[in-house]
Structure 1
Amino acid sequence: NNLKNLLDSNLFTLIDVGATGGMDGSWNEIKKNCHYITFDPDPRAQIISSYAKHTNYNYALWSEKKDNLPFYLTKYPEASTLFQLNKTTLSSFLNSECHEQIKISKINANSIENSLNDPFDFIKVDAEGADLEILKGAEKFLKDSCLGIEVEVSFINRHKNAPYFSETDSYIRNLDFVLMDLQTEKWIRKNNTFSTKTNPQLIWGNAIYVLSKESLLKKLKTLSQEKRDLIFTKYIMILLIYHFHDYAIELCDYFSNEKKLISENYMVDLRKMIIKSMPSQVFHLLKLLLSLLIPSILICIFCFSKKARTSLVNYLKKHLVDLSHYLVRLSRYGPSNGCISG
C-alpha cells in the first residue's frame, strides 16, 4: 500500500522512441502507474496503450531540429529508418525481406529536449540506426533525471554510416550509466544451415543500462526524504522489470544498512516486492516449453502459407536454442548455482 500510494500520486514517466513494437510485456506490471510517451514517424505505426496516461508524437527524433531528412519506409514497419539500408549486408540473411525498402519520403525531426518540458525516468530507443543521435538530443534529461536506458545497438553494418555498439556504449557510459544486460539477436544466413549447436552471427541487440550506484547515491543525497523514497522506488522497479533481482537486493542492503537514506517502511515493502517478483525454475522451464509448443501448432495450421511458415520456423529455431542452452546450464550447475554462463 505504501508503494501504491507513492506511485499513484507520482507517475513513472516512460519514453518509447520507435514505439511500433511497444514495450516488453514486463512493463505491464506498472502500466497503471505510468505515463507512457511515444514517438514514431511511420504513418503505419499502431500504438496500443493501456497505461494510466499516454502522450503520442507522430514525428521523428534526432539530436537537434532537422528538416527534410530522408525516411526509408520498409516492408516491415519496425525496420523503417532514417539511415540508408545496406542491402549488400542484409541480403546474406534469411529475414532480409523484412528490410525491403518500399518508399523514401522526406520528414522533419526534432530533439527530445525541444519536445518535452518535464523530465522522464526511463527511455527505450529502437530507431534502426538513429538511436545514438536521439540520445544525444536528450542529454540534459539523461544527466538530470533518467534512471535507466534500453537502446538498440548494432554489431554489423545494417545501415550505412550508422554507429556501432562500441560508440553508443561509450557515450552512455560517459554519462555514468552501467551496462546490465545485452539481449542479442542472431540471424541465420540464406543457406538455412541450422542445428541446436549452430551459432549464427550476432547482428544487433537491446542494451539495458541503469544509473550507476555512485550517481544514484549522489542524486539521492540532494533530495528531500519524500523524493528519495520515490526515486529509489522507481529505480528498484526498473531492476525488477528486467529481472535484476540480485542487484535490487544488494542496493536495498546498501541504502538501508550503510546510508540509511530510504524510509524503513518503504524499504520493507520493496524487499517483499523483490522476493515476490522472482519466478521459480519450474515456471521458467514451462515458459520455454510453451514458447516451442505454440509456434509448432501454428506451423501446422499455416502449413500452406510459405511466408507464415518461414517466420514461425525461424521463431521456433531461436527458442529451441534458448531451451537447449537453459537445459545445458541446468545440467551443469543445478537449479541453485550462481553461475549462469556456459
Structure 2
Amino acid sequence: MTVSRMLRLLPPGVEIVLADVGSAGGLKSRWREARSVVSALLFDPRDDGAPAKKGRDTYFPVGLGKTVGRATLNITELGNMSSMLPPNVELLKTFRKKGAHTKIVSTWEMPIDTLDNIAHRELISVDVLKVDTQGTELDILQGAEKCLASSVFLAEIEVSFLERYKGQPLSDDIVAFMRARGFDLIDLYRLKRYRHLNHSGVGNIGLGGGQRAGRIAYGDAIFLLREELLLERIRILSRLDAQGLALKVIVALLVYGKADTASRLFDLTADLFDEKIRQELTRFFRRLGRPYAFIGGKGLHLILDYLARKV
C-alpha cells in the first residue's frame, strides 16, 4: 500500500488543507502522491480581485504578515531572492554571486493580511503550513498564532543561519517561537551554503571528512506538534473525526518521509480506528518495518524515502 493507496482510508470529505506561503512554482512535488486530498491555499498579492478557486486550490490576492496593511516588495536581480526586507548587501557581497543576485531592480507595493484573518473569514482550518518568504517568516507565523494553536499540526519553515536580509530573524528565533507554541523541530533539509569570494578562486571543494566548502546560509525546518498536544487534539474529537485527523497526520508524516513517527502515531491511536482500517494500517506498517519488503525489486521504505526527497 503506497501513500496514494492509503488515501482511500480517509473518511469521505476529509482533506489536508495546506497553506503554502511563498509558493513560486506551485506545490512541492513531495505532495504529488497525496494531491487528490490536498487543498492548497496560495497567495498572489495584487490590488484587485477576490479569492479565486482553481480546482482544489484557492488563490488569495494578498501577501501575508503579522498585521493587516501594505508592504513594499524589493524585487531583486535573481527573482527568488526578492523580499519585503532589504538585502544585507555588505554581508552578501562577500559571497560568490550573491551581491549581484540581490541587486534591487524594482519595488512593488502590495496588500498584506494575516493567515488568522483569512482562516477566520473563509472558515478554513489549516492542517499544514509551509512558509518560504525570504526573511519575513516570523512575521507570518506571528499572524498565524490562532491557526497554530487550533489546527496546524505540521509546518515547513525556511530558516536562515546568517542575516541575508537586514533585520531578518534567524533560525534560533523561529525555533524558539515554534517551541513556545508546542512544536518540536524534527528535521532540517535542503541546507544551502554560500561560498566566500577569495583571490584564489577557491569554491565548491571538499577536503576530507565529507565536509564541503562554504557556510550554511539557510534551509527548511520541519516542525511537528508535540506528541501529547497532538494526541489531545485527536482524542477530544468524536471517534470519526478523531480517526480522520489521525489519518491526515499519518499521511502528512509519510509525505515528509517520517514513517517511523507515522507508525508510532498509529500505535498510540489504533483504538480509534474501525477494525478494517486498523488491520490495513497494521499490515502496512509491519511490511514497512521489514528490512526486505520488496515491491518491484525495491524496498517500500526506500521508495517512500525517495519520494520524500524529490522536492
Whether TM-score is above 0.5 comes out as yes
Q: For residues 273 and 95 of structure 1, do their structure 2 counterparts lie closer, same or farther at Cα, with a shift above 3 Å needed?
A: farther
Q: For residues 80 and 7 of structure 1, do their structure 2 counterparts lie closer, same or farther at Cα, with a shift above 3 Å needed?
A: farther
Q: Is 1:16 matched with 2:20?
A: yes
For 2:67 and 2:224, locate their aligned partners in 1 and report how far apart those are by CA, in whole Å.
Answer: 25
Q: Is 1:54 matched with 2:65?
A: no
Match in the other structure for 2:193: 186
Instruction: Name structure 1 gaps, 5 residues minimum.
Output: 44-48, 292-342
Higher helix share: 1
Normalised to the residue count of structure 2, the TM-score between the two structures is 0.80
1:250 counterpart SS class: helix
Could you tell me whether the CA contact under 8 Å between 1:36 and 1:55 is conserved in 2? yes
Q: For residues 127 and 2 of structure 1, do their structure 2 counterparts lie closer, same or farther at Cα, with a shift above 3 Å needed?
A: closer
Deviation at 1:7, TM superposition (A): 5.5
Q: For residues 85 and 8 of structure 1, do their structure 2 counterparts lie closer, same or farther at Cα, with a shift above 3 Å needed?
A: farther
Name the amino acid aligned to 1:112.
Answer: L
Q: Is 1:212 matched with 2:226?
A: yes
In percent, how many aligned pairs have the same letter? Answer: 25
For 1:200 and 1:278, locate their aligned partners in 2 and report how far apart those are by CA, in whole Å.
Answer: 32
Match in the other structure for 1:340: none
For 1:131 and 1:171, locate their aligned partners in 2 and report how far apart those are by CA, in whole Å.
Answer: 11
1:279 counterpart SS class: helix
- Match among 66, 85, 90 for residue 87 of structure 2: 85
Name the amino acid aligned to 2:221.
Answer: A
Normalised to the residue count of structure 1, the TM-score between the two structures is 0.73
Name the amino acid aligned to 2:22.
Answer: G
Q: For residues 273 and 102 of structure 1, do their structure 2 counterparts lie closer, same or farther at Cα, with a shift above 3 Å needed?
A: farther
Match in the other structure for 1:237: 251
Name the amino acid aligned to 1:154.
Answer: S
Could you tell me whether the CA contact under 8 Å between 1:240 and 1:277 is conserved in 2? no
Could you report, residue by residue, the CA deviation over 1:175-195 in whole angstroms, capped at 9, with x for unpaired residues?
A: 111111111211222344232
Deviation at 1:64, TM superposition (A): 1.0
- Larger mean Cα displacement after TM superposition, 183-192 or 139-148: 183-192
Higher relative CO (Cα under 8 Å, sequence separation at least 6) belongs to: 2
Match in the other structure for 1:338: none
Could you report, residue by residue, the CA deviation over 1:250-283 in whole angstroms, capped at 9, with x for unpaired residues?
A: 2222333xxx2333433333345552852269x9
Could you tell me whether the CA contact under 8 Å between 1:39 and 1:60 is conserved in 2? yes
Q: Is 1:278 matched with 2:301?
A: yes
Deviation at 1:135, TM superposition (A): 1.0
Match in the other structure for 2:69: 66
Could you tell me whether the CA contact under 8 Å between 2:87 and 2:166 is conserved in 1? yes
- Match among 215, 237, 240 for residue 226 of structure 1: 240
Match in the other structure for 1:330: none
- Larger mean Cα displacement after TM superposition, 265-274 or 146-155: 265-274
Q: Is 1:137 matched with 2:143?
A: yes
- Match among 133, 147, 154 for residue 153 of structure 2: 147
Match in the other structure for 2:114: 111
For 1:2 and 1:28, locate their aligned partners in 2 and report how far apart those are by CA, in whole Å.
Answer: 14
For 1:28 and 1:205, locate their aligned partners in 2 and report how far apart those are by CA, in whole Å.
Answer: 22
Q: Which runs of structure 2 are paired with 1:121-136 in the superposition (5 Å)?
A: 121-136=127-142
What is the aligned length?
Answer: 276
Q: Runs of 4 or more off by more than 4 Å in structure 1? A: 271-274
Could you tell me whether the CA contact under 8 Å between 1:63 and 1:134 is conserved in 2? yes
Could you report, residue by residue, the CA deviation over 1:30-70 in whole angstroms, capped at 9, with x for unpaired residues?
A: 11111111014389xxxxx9x95011123211111023x22
Q: For residues 272 and 147 of structure 1, do their structure 2 counterparts lie closer, same or farther at Cα, with a shift above 3 Å needed?
A: farther
Q: For residues 115 and 263 of structure 1, do their structure 2 counterparts lie closer, same or farther at Cα, with a shift above 3 Å needed?
A: same
Could you tell me whether the CA contact under 8 Å between 2:9 and 2:277 is conserved in 1? no
